[in-house]
Amino acid sequence: MALQGAELDKARNHAQQVVRDLRARKTTLDDDSIDLILGEARSHYAWSDRHVSEELLRRLYDITASGPTSMNTCPARYIFVSSVEGKERLAKSLKAKNIDKMMDAPVTAIIAYDPMFWTELPFLFPHEDRRPHFEGKPEHAEDTAFRNSTLQGGYFMIAARALGLDVGAMSGFSNAIVDEEFFTENGWKSNFLCNLGYADESALFQKLPRFPFERVCSFL
């Protein structure tokens, strides 16, 4: 139920104060923190056998869920695969060169999305009924779900790194096989896979080039 009147004013004032207080405590990340999540962070393909706890994965989700999506649609869904049985099922979808990478990782997350996300909007976006924007418009719903779940997948990887985990995203797999193996009952669709754990850095090679600012950015 949407807040109204004095309760709404109180909630808005609290939200605004939370942001002001945070900015008063910390205005920017230090260089090492930026390097940890992006600047010097690397995609990993070899892993130590260090355990990743359920508690840490729950914390990872909580941070990821705070990231913005259009109309707070939050279409991403996550399956954390760590059991031998689950890994064997997931391996059916992978290209051969990716199987060992996935099997050796402590956890592989299936980043998926729910095409019917919009049915949850009365909870996620309670102050206005936005379901008519998507009801009977499957292509629009699909585009919105895919775009925003991809955003959430990006938040997921940055949040994982911020918590001290290493990540290795993978797209070398069959979405159709993953969807058939894991999502026949709920209708979710896979977006991409992400290995999680604590990396074996000895498998790293040199960092690949990135475009300079002038090559890909402009001002108008």
Domains of the chain: residue spans and CATH: 1-40 (no CATH), 42-201 (3.40.109.10)
What does the pLDDT read at residue 29? 96
What does the pLDDT read at residue 87? 98
Q: For 156-209, how does the pLDDT look when each residue is reduced to its tens digit (9 = 90+)?
A: 999 999 999 999 999 999 999 999 999 999 999 999 999 999 999 999 999 999
User: How far apart, in whole angstroms, are the C-alpha atoms of residue 190 and residue 160?
Assistant: 19
- Residue 126 confidence (pLDDT) above 90: yes
- Quote the DSSP letter at residue 27: S
Q: Which residues of 187-212 are buried (b: 16+ CB within 10 A; e: fewer)?
A: ebbbbbbbbbbbbbeeeeeeeeeeee
176 CB-near residues (< 8 Å, 6+ apart): none
- Residue 2 confidence (pLDDT) above 90: no
- Residue 5 confidence (pLDDT) above 90: no
- Residue 1 confidence (pLDDT) above 80: no
- Quote the DSSP letter at residue 94: B
CB hemisphere CA count around 19 (13 angstroms):
5
Mean pLDDT taken over the chain: 96
Pairwise pLDDT comparison (101 vs 1), residue with the higher score:
101
Neighbouring C-beta atoms of residue 138, cutoff 10 Å: 11
Q: pTM of this prediction?
A: 0.94
Could you tell me the pLDDT band of residue 210, with boundaries at 50, 70 and 90?
Answer: very high
Could you tell me the pLDDT band of residue 43, with boundaries at 50, 70 and 90?
Answer: very high
What does the pLDDT read at residue 172? 94
CB hemisphere CA count around 44 (13 angstroms):
24
